[in-house]
Amino acid sequence: MFETDGYVIFRDVIDQDLIKEVNDHVEWLQARHPDVRPEQLGHTYLRDDPFWVRLVSDDRLVDIAQQFVGPDVALFASHYISKPPYSGQPVLWHQDAAFWPLDPMRVVTLWLAVDHSTPANGCVRVIPGSHLGEVAGMRDNTDVESVLGKEIAVDVDETPAVDDAARHFPFADSAHWA
């Protein structure tokens, strides 16, 4: 499925105790940085954070990443996208690879749903198979206040889109579409 569709779902990977710690950590970060929108709690705030380092190096998550990129795993970007009810910013259509100047593009994104994620509250959406095409350019989008501030610079046919309604499991996708 990963090779053809570009994504795969892993269920029951992270235990409830760790999920609670993640939620507590997000609350702590929001209290510590009240001037930062919760969707913007990215690597600037996390890179030296002991809890974050422990979370992203959790053997269960590293094992998943290694299935796709092999044993030499390196983390180069991280982000909490904590969307508050009724005012959360969307993540517009994009290809992760457009943000990452890597060669070769042997990369995987792990998305960990900490709360129940649905189409109504902003779950991840993917276009199956779109990772097999070229990486399209990006353009600024100031019409919508969004997490990335950018969107893919081509029209997206959302007909084949898959909504990933998730609860407490990692979602791995290729670097092309997320």
pLDDT level of residue 97 (50, 70, 90 thresholds): confident
Q: Is the pLDDT of residue 167 over 90?
A: no
Residue 157: both structure tokens together: 């046919």
Q: What is the pLDDT of residues 28-44, one digit of tens each?
A: 999 999 999 988 998 88
On the question of a cis peptide bond just before residue 50, with omega within 30 degrees of 0, the verdict is: no
What pLDDT score does 2 carry?
A: 80
Q: pTM value?
A: 0.83
State how far the Cα of 95 lies from the Cα of 103, in Å rounded to an integer. Answer: 15
Average pLDDT of the residues in 128-152: 89
What pLDDT score does 173 carry?
A: 53
Q: What is the 3-state secondary structure (H, E, C) of 14-59?
A: CCHHHHHHHHHHHHHHHHHCCCCCHHHEEHHHHCCCHHHHHHHCCH
Q: What rounded mean pLDDT belongs to the chain?
A: 84
45 contacts: CB under 8 Å, gap ≥ 6: 29, 33, 36
State how far the Cα of 94 lies from the Cα of 124, in Å rounded to an integer. Answer: 12
Residue 169: both structure tokens together: 């499991």
Q: Is the pLDDT of residue 177 over 50?
A: no
State how far the Cα of 15 lies from the Cα of 119, in Å rounded to an integer. Answer: 24
What pLDDT score does 20 carry?
A: 92
What pLDDT score does 58 carry?
A: 93
Average pLDDT of the residues in 79-98: 85
Q: Are strands 7-9 and 79-80 parallel, antiparallel or unpaired?
A: unpaired
State how far the Cα of 28 lies from the Cα of 70, in Å rounded to an integer. Answer: 34
Q: How far is CA 45 from the centre of its chain?
A: 16
Q: Is the pLDDT of residue 170 over 80?
A: no
